[in-house]
A and B are shown apart, each in its own frame.
Chain A
Amino acid sequence: MLENIKEFASEFFVTGDPLIYGADVSIVLATLGIVFVLTYFKKWGWLWRNWITTVDHKKIGIMYILAAIVMLFRGGVDAVMMRTQLAFPDLNFLEPEHYNQIFTTHGVVMIFFMAMPLMFGLFNIVVPLQIGARDVAFPYLNSLSFWLFFAGAMLFNLSFVIGGSPDAGWLAYPPLSGSQFNPGVGQNFYIWGIQISGIGSLASGINFIVTILKMRAPGMTMMKMPMFTWSVFAASTTIIFAFPILTITLLLLFMDRFFGAHFFTLDGGGNPMMYINLIWMWGHPEVYIVVLPAFGVFSETVATFARKRLFGYASMVFAMVIISIISFFTWAHHFFTMGSGANVNAFFAVTTMIIAIPTGVKIFNWLFTMYKGRITFPTPMMWTIAFIPAFVVGGMTGVMLSVAPADFQFHNSYFLIAHFHQVLIGGVVFGYFAGLYYWWPKMFGFKLNEYLGKWAFWLWNIGFYVCFMPQYLVGLDGMTRRISVFSDPNWVGLNVVSTIGAYIMGLAFLFQVAQIGYSIFRHEKDTTGDIWDARTLEWSMPSPAPEYNFAVIPQVHGRDEWWEEKERRRRGEKPWQLGPIEPIHMPKNSAIPAIMAICWFVLGFGLVFHWLWMAIPGLIGVFICLYARSFSAHKAEYYIPVEEIERTEATLRGGAV
């Protein structure tokens, strides 16, 4: 008996690596620490009422962002470990197997569990406030999306200590990811971690489309929407078309692994290239899903800090719509080397190059917005400025890669790695940082410390170029991606430099953590609700916004309505005519989303280990939750009475409404 348990445990838990034992210990300690703090300060009820069961988009947004920062840390540790291994030739810091796992989890964590939640966090915090709405269209579904993301992320990260991590790359190409070459449970964690959180992303896409189409304040036509909201609309539309493809692709891979089906196997008539087509039909749109909202952020910050209205509004909208459409027609540029023939490659090379045009249009629009503006440079604007050269270089190397014959040389070399990090860090991460710094006062009512923020900014930027510029060169020189050791003496210098850059970025991240920690205790308060003297509706209300957002929904007349309103007031004209306060209809908190996410987790975990006794109850739990919601949804609403709103507004605004 004891023997059996021992044997089970040695397979169930990942053993044998000191790094992992270290992680085990720190996970247990961190968990105990959290439990202790919550119990000692009697915070369990607070956690449950204010966060776990909340359906308030602002709080859900904060939870997304918090989770994303933690995941940025995990993905960052992976990155630094990889760069350490590759700093010098023939190092033995990571075993090859371990290296494979780390580059896989690094990619997955960064895209699915860092970029996506950071993006949804910004969507949640900003969109309803920007369009003059009280919440998203489906607040309950919104909470469910978050908890599904969370359950998926937990499941995926668990593979680190239980069962073993996936190791077939961030897109898990078969046949390597099939059961023939990958019989362990790692790939199952990959499938279910992503599948569960992907369902949440799909639901969020639907939610934000409906929110934007149906919940805008009166007078705000589509062409009067703030540009960030437009970018959310474009990204969400791309999500609803792209994510179902991912759902099916993962389902089919699961069928292969679990039931022995033959979609992507080498025998039985399967076709692995089908997987690679499908995953990129989702994957290329995905990179634009994450970058479009970053473009949206820049459009807001540029206008605010140049104190001018955004140049070329209509062309911005047009460019975004075009990008989201064309992004569905470029996928094959990820495998020009597959051998589809010259005509197919030519088609995809051209569509890929075409995407650079609307992107260029946007860059010029931002530059023209800044032209002759009275620009100030607080941290959100610094990130915006830094984005432009980074993305121009990233885009240009992208166009180089899109030249199909040349790509036979660049493909899967460090040149490619440098390209996509340049666009993903320089575009997406810089963009979300800009957004985070910009809207932080709106979320929490105070500004982040600028001094530490500038340190973080410069370290990030220097580290970024020091890390990735050498990779272009070493890639051109023939160093391929996904190797765990190299021996060529000519590559040593460039690799050392690159590793130094990675460490500088790690240091920059620590500065950001310090910045947040410091600012919680000593900060400049946002007393006006409009700390940047900005232009759009979210700045017309106190920071942080009350739970119902707008006591009275404003009537919108033009773009940049809040700026126009301030101008009107400066000219001494009559301010906004807001109607009387009326009782506000609000959704009640609900425990079902978190419980349903736990059921999904149980289902996923059971399927990972082929334990039907666990998976089936999980599935039943999911359906019970669906039923419970269906029967109780009509009771899940209440009204905030007028007196309470008046009281809240009076305290928040010091009397003046």
Chain B
Amino acid sequence: MAQSPAHGSDHHDHHAAGHHDPQDIKLLGFWIFLVTDVILFSTLFATFIVLRNNTNGFEGGADLFNMTGVIAETFLLLTSSFTSGLAVLAMHQNKVKPMIIWLVITGLLGAGFLALELTEFVELVHEGATLQTSAFWSAFFTLVGTHGVHVTIGIGWMISIIIQIVRRGLNADTKGKVTVFSLYWHFLDAVWIFLLSIVYLMEVM
């Protein structure tokens, strides 16, 4: 913390400090946003852990989780993280078309994930597990649902980025957007790993 990361005092030539690299600034801003999102999810995880035994006499996760569906969801989301990485690689090589294709595949995988998650939710509701059933299920639906909402927003965001790239091509600005988006997408993947282990696996073990 003791030194200035942005610019040393040797830069007499570029005194115009108005010329900070805007992409650099956005990227830092986004990293800090991700920190806040980590706290957001941590709070939800903490709540889930505190309430996990409060099933109110109703069945808990161990009885009702459909692990095949969950494994399939995991597979889709992890693959989509990989394909979003491939999109960024293509972007660095300025290959617009492959990049867009990888992004579209990422989005489709994400949509597949959401479809499975929704099916899982609907099945649970049919079994009688709803937000109102018990503290356990309230915490479950809120935590997993918040992740699902993040994925949904991610897909909408990605569509907007694809449209902008089709219109304006790749430049520093649109590249920055893809970079930030892929960061976000990897982050959701990481959160899912925690969801998988803390919510699903620990429950059924």
Contact string against A for B residues 119-160, beta-carbon threshold 8 Å, 1 for contact and 0 otherwise: 000000000000111111011011000000000000011001
Shortest C-beta distance, A432 to chain B (Å), equals 25
Check A268 against B132 for contact (C-beta < 8 Å): yes
Q: A206-B29, A278-B43 are in contact. Are A220 and B4 (CB under 8 A)?
A: yes
B205 within 8 A of A: no
**Complex CA distance for A216 and B5, rounded to whole angstroms:** 10
Name the residue among B2, B14, B43, B177 with the largest chain A CB count within 10 angstroms: B43
Check A210 against B28 for contact (C-beta < 8 Å): yes
- B132 neighbours in A (Cβ, 8 Å): 259-262, 268
- A32 neighbours in B (Cβ, 8 Å): none
Check A222 against B4 for contact (C-beta < 8 Å): yes
Closest chain A residue, CB of each to CB of B33 = A206
Q: A219-B9, A222-B1 are in contact. Are A269 and B43 (CB under 8 A)?
A: no
Q: Which applies to chain B's interface (DSSP): helix, strand, loop or mixed?
A: helix
A252 within 8 A of B: yes
**Which of A202, A259, A555, A557 is within 8 Å of B36, CB to CB?**
A202
- A268 neighbours in B (Cβ, 8 Å): 54, 56, 132-135, 138
Shortest C-beta distance, B56 to chain A (Å), equals 4
The number of chain B residues touching the other chain, given as a range, is 35 or more
Shortest C-beta distance, B201 to chain A (Å), equals 22
Check B4 against A216 for contact (C-beta < 8 Å): yes
A627 within 8 A of B: yes
Check B134 against A262 for contact (C-beta < 8 Å): yes
A575 within 8 A of B: no
Shortest C-beta distance, B58 to chain A (Å), equals 9
Check B29 against A210 for contact (C-beta < 8 Å): yes
Q: A248-B40, A255-B138 are in contact. Are A137 and B29 (CB under 8 A)?
A: yes
Check A271 against B39 for contact (C-beta < 8 Å): no
Closest chain A residue, CB of each to CB of B16 = A582
Q: A271-B50, A552-B15 are in contact. Are A218 and B28 (CB under 8 A)?
A: no
- B24 neighbours in A (Cβ, 8 Å): 214
- Quick check: which of A152-160, A239-247, A338-346, A373-381 contacts chain B, the rest being far away? A239-247
Check B9 against A274 for contact (C-beta < 8 Å): no
The number of chain A residues touching the other chain, given as a range, is 35 or more
Shortest C-beta distance, B27 to chain A (Å), equals 10
**Which of B16, B44, B50 is within 8 Å of A248, CB to CB?**
B44
Check A261 against B138 for contact (C-beta < 8 Å): yes
Shortest C-beta distance, A317 to chain B (Å), equals 9
Check B43 against A631 for contact (C-beta < 8 Å): no
**Complex CA distance for A596 and B125, rounded to whole angstroms:** 34
**Complex CA distance for A278 and B39, rounded to whole angstroms:** 12
Q: A259-B131, A263-B139, A627-B160 are in contact. Are A245 and B39 (CB under 8 A)?
A: yes
Q: Which of A165-216 contact B (CB under 8 A)?
A: 202, 205-207, 209-210, 213-216
- B12 neighbours in A (Cβ, 8 Å): 218, 555
B37 within 8 A of A: yes
**Which of B17, B36, B50 is within 8 Å of A218, CB to CB?**
B17
**Which of B43, B156, B164 is within 8 Å of A244, CB to CB?**
B43
Check B56 against A262 for contact (C-beta < 8 Å): yes
**Which of A241, A259, A630 is within 8 Å of B39, CB to CB?**
A241
Q: Which of B161-200 contact A (CB under 8 A)?
A: 161, 163-164, 168, 173, 177
Contact string against B for A residues 99-120, beta-carbon threshold 8 Å, 1 for contact and 0 otherwise: 0000000000000000000000
**Complex CA distance for A207 and B29, rounded to whole angstroms:** 7
Q: A210-B32, A269-B54 are in contact. Are A274 and B17 (CB under 8 A)?
A: no
Closest chain B residue, CB of each to CB of A548 = B18
Closest chain B residue, CB of each to CB of A137 = B25
Shortest C-beta distance, A223 to chain B (Å), equals 6
Q: Which of A225-244 contact B (CB under 8 A)?
A: 240-241, 243-244
**Complex CA distance for A630 and B141, rounded to whole angstroms:** 31
Check B5 against A206 for contact (C-beta < 8 Å): no
**Complex CA distance for A222 and B3, rounded to whole angstroms:** 6
Check A221 against B2 for contact (C-beta < 8 Å): yes
Shortest C-beta distance, A244 to chain B (Å), equals 4
Q: Which of A402-452 contact B (CB under 8 A)?
A: none
- A215 neighbours in B (Cβ, 8 Å): 6, 17, 20, 25
Shortest C-beta distance, A144 to chain B (Å), equals 13
- B74 neighbours in A (Cβ, 8 Å): none
Which 10 residue pairs spanning A and B have beta carbons closest together?
Answer: A269-B54, A269-B135, A261-B138, A244-B39, A219-B9, A269-B56, A553-B17, A248-B43, A244-B40, A579-B15
Q: 26 A-B Cβ contacts within 8 A?
A: A210-B25, A213-B5, A215-B17, A219-B9, A220-B4, A222-B1, A222-B3, A244-B37, A244-B39, A255-B138, A256-B138, A260-B131, A261-B131, A263-B47, A268-B138, A269-B135, A269-B136, A271-B50, A274-B51, A556-B9, A578-B15, A579-B15, A579-B16, A582-B18, A630-B160, A631-B163
**Interface, chain A (partner B; CB < 8 A):** 132-134, 137-138, 202, 205-207, 209-210, 213-223, 240-241, 243-245, 247-249, 251-252, 255-256, 259-263, 267-271, 274, 278, 552-553, 555-557, 578-579, 582, 584-585, 623, 627, 630-631, 633-634
**Interface, chain B (partner A; CB < 8 A):** 1-9, 11-12, 14-20, 24-25, 28-29, 32-33, 35-37, 39-40, 43-44, 47, 50-51, 54-56, 131-136, 138-139, 141-142, 156-157, 160-161, 163-164, 168, 173, 177
